[in-house]
Amino acid sequence: MEIRTRYAPSPTGKMHVGNLRSALYEFLIAKHEDGTFMLRIEDTDQERFVEGATEIIYHTLEKTGLVHDEGPDKDGGYGPYVQSERMKTGIYMKYAKQLVDQGQAYYCFCDKCRLESLKKSVVDGKEITVYDKHCLSLSKEEVEKNLAEGKPFVIRQNNPTEGTTTFHDELYGDITVDNSELDDMILIKSDGYPTYNFANVVDDHTMNITHVVRGNEYLSSSPKYNRLYEAFGWEVPTYIHLPLITDENHKKLSKRSGHASFEDLLEQGFLPEAVVNYIALLGWSPEDNREIFSLDELIKEFDYHRISKSPAVFDIQKLRWMNGEYFKAMDSEKFYELALPYIKEVITKDIDLKKVAAMVQTRIETFLDIKDHIDFFEALPEYDIAMYTHKKMKTNAETSLQVLKDVLPLLEKQEDYENDALYEMLCGYIKENGYKNGYVMWPIRTAVSGKQMTPGGATELMSLLGKDETIVRIKKGIELLESAES
RNA sequence: GGCUCGUUGGUCAAGAGGUUAAGACGCCGCCCUCUCAAGGCGGAAUCACGAGUUCGAUUCUCGUACGAGCUGCCA
């Protein structure tokens, strides 16, 4: 049988990594078996609807490659299914009324006032947590009369109060609850829209969803959904509930945490592929020890039975590492292309940006790291001459001054400023004097960059900076050291 | 509070009765080195607790603790 899954977000804002992971797993479960993946926008809550949220979802899925393969025609492709659109066909009301006719659901005219006071009331020392079926006892005539009068109503599920209900989850196994715990949840709201609880079941069935994959938060309400399937006589789908993703404090990710949404991560300089790869491993692991997976490789390897049950902490540190791995593995041409905007933000000078990109490629974890590595190319920063002192290199202000003075005429004489030529020339000087490499290179690199660390060695930097700028900076270094001496 | 679920190093995790309890991130050290990275090598660090079952429990059962989710005319 073909596997059919769906990603069913509500358009209420940005897409969190938790949402994205649900989409990813739903996609992978279907694609692993060559199945069908769908997108269904659950916009039945008119109040929470956020303008543009559907577009965000759409673009996020596009960027991550989680493309759905069924839906209403749109621009020569498939649009998403949208519940508010489906509602116009009267589908949800039709099915709700069917349940009313079967006695599995009923009209309820209770106002919010009564519901609230009900919640506060205490029976036998226990708080009431489920609706008291007050309107179930209404006669058919009373219901008709209320409806004719245009009284606002909802339709509620009619759950039994005795016995138990069991449902099966592929990961969590059988879960049984007392029916007395089952609230007569609302199926149709007073504004005519279905609730998630109802629309979800109706849509999953009518769209022939075989595997209902969703967050763990639905685990405890799933028995109620099962009763709905049974009331309709529909086949219950395979359930796969996913463990939560939390922040470092083991709390559910919140929009305020800043790095939680996919868009934020892109802004923080992460690559979509790396994010997808990382979150795939948040709650799932392959049989071997592999960690780097393309989407296609994930499709091939993904076995949902290996999804874990316990929540996972979103570790930005490991994401950073993984992102860096993607940079390192990336074709240098492609990296150059992607990094260019970030480089140009810092460097306006006419220097070989391709080489700058190459220097930085193995040294960064996110695009945002680029800036700190290369800012000195643009302008020599103010620096402290204490930087000339390096224990291991056996350098200090005095030795540095001498080296810089020695080396200045050599650099002025030097015509070829290619890296290799510079290195060869300096090695000659080093050898002649019996110095260690670092003894000479450290002061030069310091003078030329004004930084403690740089994305390349002294000669590489000089080669990029060019002769003129190099001379200027070396002279500046000598000047600084001399003025400190006196 | 009630219900449901979960618990292997700081984090992601493998292991499903007998293992020196993998691997990765991070951390620390060493090597390499014209700095920093990268790369190589090594190190510290884990089965929440208590009973049971068993010749033997990280692995099975039950409790406890802790954590999380649900308890909306939100999804």
Q: Classify domain A385-485 by CATH architecture.
A: Orthogonal Bundle (1.10)
Q: CA of A354 and C1' of B17: distance in angstroms? A: 59
Model pLDDT, residue A126? 67
The verdict on pTM exceeding 0.90 is yes
Check pLDDT > 70 for residue A124.
no
Q: Measured from the CB, is A65 under 7 Å from any atom of strand B?
A: no
Query: What digits encode the pLDDT tens for the residues A295-314?
Result: 999 999 999 999 999 999 99
This complex has an ipTM of: 0.95
Measuring from the CA of residue A248 to each C1' atom, give the nucleotide at the shortest distance. B11
Model pLDDT, residue A250? 83
Our CA dihedral for A345, A349, A355, A357, rounded to 10 degrees, sits at 0
Buried b (16+ CB within 10 A) or exposed e, A408-439: beebeebeebebeebbebbeeebeeeebeebb
Tell me the mean pLDDT in the region A21-45: 97
Tell me the mean pLDDT in the region A35-44: 96
Chain B, protein-covered positions (CB within 7 A): 1-8, 10-15, 22-26, 33-39, 67-75
Q: Measured from the CB, is A457 under 7 Å from any atom of strand B?
A: yes
Q: CA of A465 and C1' of B40: distance in angstroms? A: 32
**Distance (Å) of CA A197 to CA A133, A134, A140:** 18, 21, 26
Q: What is the CATH number of domain A4-70+245-317?
A: 3.40.50.620
Measuring from the CA of residue A130 to each C1' atom, give the nucleotide at the shortest distance. B71
d(CA A483, CA A486): 6
Check pLDDT > 80 for residue A253.
no
Measuring from the CA of residue A315 to each C1' atom, give the nucleotide at the shortest distance. B11
d(CA A272, CA A63): 7
Phi, psi of A299 (to 5 degrees): -55, -45
Show me where the domains of chain A are located: 4-70+245-317, 91-242, 332-370, 385-485
Which residue places its CA closest to the C1' of nucleotide B7? A310
Q: What is the CATH number of domain A91-242?
A: 3.40.50.620
Q: Which runs of E-coded beta strand occur in A283-405? A: 312-313
Q: Is A255 a catalytic residue?
A: yes
Question: Which residue among A94, A151, A251, A255 is the active-site one?
Answer: A255
Residues 202-231 of A with CB under 7 A from strand B: 216-221
Tell me the mean pLDDT in the region A217-232: 95
Which residue places its CA closest to the C1' of nucleotide B35? A453
A91-242 shares the fold of A4-70+245-317 = yes
Exposed / middle / buried, residue A252 (Cβ in 10 Å: 0-12, 13-18, 19+): middle
